[in-house]
Structure 1
Amino acid sequence: MKKITVYCGSNKGKNPIYASAAQDLATEMIRRDMALVYGAGNVGLMGVIADSMLSAGKEVYGIIPQKLVDIEVAHQGCTELTVVETMRDRKWLMAERGDGFIAMPGGIGTFEELFEIMTLNQLGYIQKPLALYNVNGYYDKLIDFLQHSAEQGFLHQAQLNLLIIASDPIVLLDKMSVFKPKHIDKWEVK
């Protein structure tokens, strides 16, 4: 894994721990000589992780739709800034370019990206590690809901087991580095 696609908030959240966690993740990615692929924002947690990576001289690949460039949220310091037409184009290019995916705390856009990658992995369009960076228990209720969905027979436990969850960036990236893609032939509830 050399390029990590990070999904995260265009806000910093109310608790400063989220911005600190973005810096911690960047620090560990820098230590491992990784590059960042992200949504190219200069605001919120997106701006924090990009600025941290760039200040260390690491590559940052930003992908953003023209509409967001027009409202001046594009990070102009990216190593490479790719402007696309739609959010759909942005998400697909981010999925193609990343060797693995991390969902940090974020809002509805982050949730959408998380679930899209889960779906692409399930259907075999990609086979790349996907992780929840569960900072300050941010994703605890979502994890509980996903487990509930599996218990109710709507989400397969085999798919849920592919989701890497950790609150420490070292543990998170260690688990991602040993990820072995698993093709699951049947998605039947047993």
Structure 2
Amino acid sequence: YAADILKSGQHLLSLINDILDMAKIEAGKMTLHCEPVSLREVCEDAVRLMRGKVQEAGLKIAVEAGDLPDIQADHRGVKQVMLNLISNAVKFTPEGGSIVVSLKPFVGPAGEDRIRVSCADTGIGIAPQDLERLARPFEQVEGQHSKTTQGTGLGLALTKSLIEMHGGQLSMESQPGVGTVVSFDLPVKRPDQTVQPIRAAFAA
């Protein structure tokens, strides 16, 4: 029973933290503390933290990345993004499936250096009509598998907002019964401007 109580407490704390973070973003009170961050190390650290849940779910997970430059970012925020994405992939990938986190550098439309991070799973997938609304607060896909998972529906909305606060973009591709790829890109160097509060996730 002690283990069950601990898991329940950790789950409740996670839900409360998500709600508080979204409230801060909506109120424009979320502040980024930018510093040199290795995205590869952040991803590998997130995978290590999630490995227990990955193994418990009977899944495989891997990180694919070459040599990448450090980016200017909020370490806690980027790590939270990765934990949310991997957690979602674990929740909606049946036993025997796999998750691959990949990182690739590319040049943005304005000639700026950027890094794209993708989290691909072999899960149940998402119908096209559900993709857009999933990035809104408290939205979840209803289905047979959702009955066995728990959450507020804030994870992806919070992830989207944190990415946009860093000057990045979130995108999703999915096919029911095949899997989902959630990707985001971040600039290597932050623009010389004050971070503005993000409200995009709350748009109707």
**TM-score bin (small chain):** under 0.3
TM-score with structure 1 setting the length: 0.25
